Amino acid sequence: MTTLQFLLRLITFRTGLYVTNAVAWTIIYLVPIAPGLITKEFFDSLTGDDALELGTWGIIALLIGAAFGRVMLIIMGFMTDVHFRYRMGMMLRRNLLQHVLKQPGARAIPCSPGEAISHFRDDVDQTEEAASWSVDVFGLTCFAAVASYILIGIDAQMTLLVFLPLVVVVTVAQLATSRLQKYRAASREATSRVTGAISEMFGNVQAIQVAGAEERVIERFRKFNDERRKTMLKDKLMGEALDSIFTNSVNLGIGIILLLAGQKMQSGAFTVGDFSLFVYYLTFVTTFITNVGKFITNFKQMSVALKRLISLLQGAPAKVLTMKDALLLRKGEMLKPADAAARQERLDTLSVTGLTYRFPDTGRGIEDVHLQLKGGSFTVVTGTIGSGKTTLVRTLLGLLPKDEGTIQWNGKPVVDPSTFFTPPNSAYSAQIPRMYSDTLRNNILLGQKGEGDSLKQAIHDAVMEYDIEHLHQGLETMIGPRGVKLSGGQMQRTAAARMLVRDAQLYVFDDLSSALDVETEQKLWERLFESRGGATCLVVSHRKAALAHADHIIVMKDGRIEAEGTAEELLRTSATFQELWSGDERTADDAAAVGDQAAVLQSKQ
Ligand SMILES: Nc1ncnc2c1ncn2[C@@H]1O[C@H](COP(=O)(O)OP(=O)(O)OP(=O)(O)O)[C@@H](O)[C@H]1O
């Protein structure tokens, strides 16, 4: 999409509003035509050349009336401009946000959150700016057309000199285009890097302190700031230099007119009123010329903003930015029609065939995974570090976009896993839980209504009751970035409670228990087994407490399923499983649990 096409699509987003805004500002810019003529009349009346004979007070009253009318129109003009500008900005931000939310979780944005904020803020602002200036240029062009018609009627040669600077401005702006774009792109990029570095530093305070990396981090931040200073200076200097060329070329024109007018007035070909009219219109012609220059500058800068906004789309067509759709955030609204039908069905079998996902940068991931989960079963995915366990569950749930493979819910293909695998179909707790700056209650509920007994039950199942008793404000304790920091285990159990408070047919746990002690983990699985009813569980874990409960175990190696079966079968047949099992056995903490797990295993036989 070219910048001009982008601008036209923005204008037609609310054509009515744009036209209203353009009409309002065109009238505002045309109004000064009247006081110019009135002023000419006033001066001509002093020399006896006036045509209308309104008298001094009549002329003053007309001037005041015209000024008052213009003030009222400007107030209205600002109202239409604000409406147009902010609606357009809102549409762009909404479409970007919608696109980001539709992307699979792990692919949401291609840059750091700080850089994304800079795209959402600065690039959208820049776009608003250019579209808004187009209205001014249209209004001022109308003024220039009417004014030049009147002025040519008085003196064609002088009129030419008034408009000559316009040619200079347009030529200079065109010549400076590529340089201006280059400087603007560099300054925006540098600003993004600074914003990104700030968000990284705030997000990793502890890691920086622990690694004693304060000085290096500050040095890196200083380097980014230095680069930003240099690029911003170039960008600003270029902008200001162009502005000064625009303004001074106009001043030059004024000087020439003054010299010429003096001679013509002496010869009597030019009245004092004509002179006042030229001088009066010159102020507005100056504004016209400067604003045409500003619009050209803004338009060029908008093309940089457009490129950066498109980068957030990660390959999606640019027209996504200017779509007129409503923002569909509720899960029901986002579901594909085919998925909506399957969503009502109780889970009998979940089949995965040939599921493949390779990370574009490393080529690693999962390859040709086949698996089947029976409704009500408890399946554990295990394997060595980096074998693809997390990638498998994330691809299954649509958090990563599968390269190949099909997923079937009761034999029906799931069209869009990312919207399908949400409550009430499925609930998921990630390996690294995210906490928000809010109360513990709100972190668990995340907006879920009608908490009632389900919250109590979820807290109990997640073995959280003891922790809540010891938090000074219980469930109302503020946690997350601005509240009490929870331990790794508490965070994992909060994430488990968040998942369990949602009614779902399939619960997916990604390494939920890695930060739990054996006793707590044991309790968690036992409670889950007591209360989960017919729910199906898919659990990533290498801990015996989970493996011992499993109906079915999948052993991953190098992105593929290496073996599967029950713990007992795998202990006999899979060397990888034996290693994982004995590796867990070797940990001192687990020593006590081994007996329990063996007992569980025996009781299952
Ligand atoms: N964001 C990523 N970009 C590129 N490669 C990745 C990314 N995440 C994981 N990988 C690679 O994909 C492979 C599978 O990783 P994955 O996280 O699924 O393994 P895992 O079995 O869950 O590991 P762990 O037990 O450490 O959680 C690994 O080789 C890893 O290096």
Q: What is the CATH number of the domain that holds 565?
A: 3.40.50.300
For residues 141, 147, 153, 158, the Cα torsion angle rounded to the nearest 10 degrees is -90
Q: Is 258 a domain residue?
A: yes
Alpha helices by DSSP H, listed for 388-434, are 389-396, 417-420
Judge if 347 and 305 occupy the same domain. Answer: no
* Mean pLDDT, all residues of the chain: 83
Report which protein residue has its CA nearest ligand 1's atom 3: 359
Judge if 316 and 364 occupy the same domain. Answer: no
- Please give the backbone phi and psi of residue 467, each rounded to the nearest 5 degrees, phi first: -60, -40
* Closest ligand 1 atom to 361 CA: 4
- What residue numbers bound the domain in which 547 lies? 338-425+543-597
* Closest ligand 1 atom to 431 CA: 27
How far apart CA 435 and CA 486 sit, in angstroms, is 9
Q: What is the distance in A from the centroid of ligand 1 to the CA of 424?
A: 28
Residue 230 pLDDT:
95
Q: What is the distance in A from the centroid of ligand 1 to the CA of 399?
A: 14
**Long-range CB contact pairs, 255-263, < 8 A, 24+:** 256/161, 257/158, 257/161, 257/162, 257/282, 260/157, 260/158, 260/161, 261/158
Ligand 1 cavity residues, CB under 6 Å: 359, 361-362, 364-365, 383, 385-391, 431
Task: Count CB-CB contacts under 10 A for residue 259.
Answer: 10
Instruction: Tell me the per-residue pLDDT of 267-276, one tens digit each, with 9 for 90 and over.
Output: 777 888 888 8
Asked whether 180 and 237 are in contact (CB, 8 A), the reply is no
The residue whose CB lies within 8 Å of the most ligand 1 atoms, and thus the one to mutate among 369, 380, 389, 555, is 389
Report which of residues 459 and 105 the model is more confident about: 459
The residue whose CB lies within 8 Å of the most ligand 1 atoms, and thus the one to mutate among 357, 367, 382, 387, is 387
Q: What is the distance in A from the centroid of ligand 1 to the CA of 365?
A: 6
- Whether the per-residue pLDDT at 229 is higher than 90: the answer is yes
Report which protein residue has its CA nearest ligand 1's atom 6: 359
Residue 333 pLDDT:
57
How far apart CA 449 and CA 403 sit, in angstroms, is 36
Judge if 15 and 117 occupy the same domain. Answer: yes
Cα 595 to its chain centre, rounded Å, is 52
Instruction: Tell me the per-residue pLDDT of 275-300, one tens digit each, with 9 for 90 and over.
Output: 888 878 877 777 787 788 778 878 88
SS3 per-residue string spanning 222-267: HHHHHHHHHHHHHHHHHHHHHHHHHHHHHHHHHHHHHHHHHHHHHH
Judge if 271 and 401 occupy the same domain. Answer: no
Q: What is the distance in A from the centroid of ligand 1 to the CA of 19?
A: 53
Q: Is 536 a domain residue?
A: no
Q: What one-character DSSP code corresponds to residue 484?
A: B
From 257, 290, 322, the end of a domain falls on 322
From 322, 357, 382, the end of a domain falls on 322
Cβ neighbours of residue 535 closer than 8 Å, sequence gap 6 or more: 376, 504, 505, 506, 507
Q: Is 445 a domain residue?
A: no
pLDDT band at 595; cut points 50, 70, 90: very low
Judge if 229 and 285 occupy the same domain. Answer: yes
Report which protein residue has its CA nearest ligand 1's atom 23: 386
Judge if 75 and 191 occupy the same domain. Answer: yes
Q: What is the distance in A from the centroid of ligand 1 to the CA of 445?
A: 29
Q: Is 537 a domain residue?
A: no
* Closest ligand 1 atom to 542 CA: 25
Element spanning 168, H or E: helix 156-203
- Whether the per-residue pLDDT at 253 is higher than 90: the answer is no
Least confident of 163-172, 225-234, 392-401: 163-172
Judge if 235 and 279 occupy the same domain. Answer: yes
Q: What is the CATH number of the domain that holds 263?
A: 1.20.1560.10
ipTM higher than threshold 0.85: yes
Judge if 402 and 298 occupy the same domain. Answer: no
Q: Is 21 a domain residue?
A: yes
Q: Per the structure block, which two tokens stand in for 226? A: 């230095």
Report which protein residue has its CA nearest ligand 1's atom 24: 385
Domain tally, the chain: 2
Judge if 260 and 190 occupy the same domain. Answer: yes
Q: Is 232 a domain residue?
A: yes
How far apart CA 302 and CA 316 sit, in angstroms, is 19
Q: For residue 464, with 0-12 CB atoms within 10 Å meaning exposed, 13-18 middle and 19 or more buried, which class applies? A: buried
pLDDT band at 105; cut points 50, 70, 90: low
E-strand ranges in 269-400 read 349-358, 365-374, 378-383
Q: What is the distance in A from the centroid of ligand 1 to the CA of 382?
A: 13
Report which protein residue has its CA nearest ligand 1's atom 2: 359
Q: Is 435 a domain residue?
A: no
Residue 357 pLDDT:
94
Residue 454 pLDDT:
82
Q: What is the distance in A from the centroid of ligand 1 to the CA of 78?
A: 53
pLDDT band at 335; cut points 50, 70, 90: low
Q: What is the distance in A from the centroid of ligand 1 to the CA of 363?
A: 11
Judge if 238 and 345 occupy the same domain. Answer: no
Q: What is the distance in A from the centroid of ligand 1 to the CA of 358?
A: 10
Strands 404-409 and 412-413: antiparallel
Biggest CA-to-CA distance, the chain: 120
Q: Is 513 a domain residue?
A: no
Q: What is the distance in A from the centroid of ligand 1 to the CA of 362?
A: 10
Residue 408 pLDDT:
93
User: What average pLDDT score do residues 495-505 get?
Assistant: 89
The residue whose CB lies within 8 Å of the most ligand 1 atoms, and thus the one to mutate among 357, 364, 381, 555, is 364
Residue 156 pLDDT:
86
Judge if 143 and 13 occupy the same domain. Answer: yes
Q: What is the distance in A from the centroid of ligand 1 to the CA of 316?
A: 26
* Closest ligand 1 atom to 392 CA: 18
Judge if 317 and 342 occupy the same domain. Answer: no
From 293, 322, 351, the end of a domain falls on 322
Instruction: Tell me the per-residue pLDDT of 407-429, one tens digit each, with 9 for 90 and over.
Output: 999 988 998 888 888 888 899 98
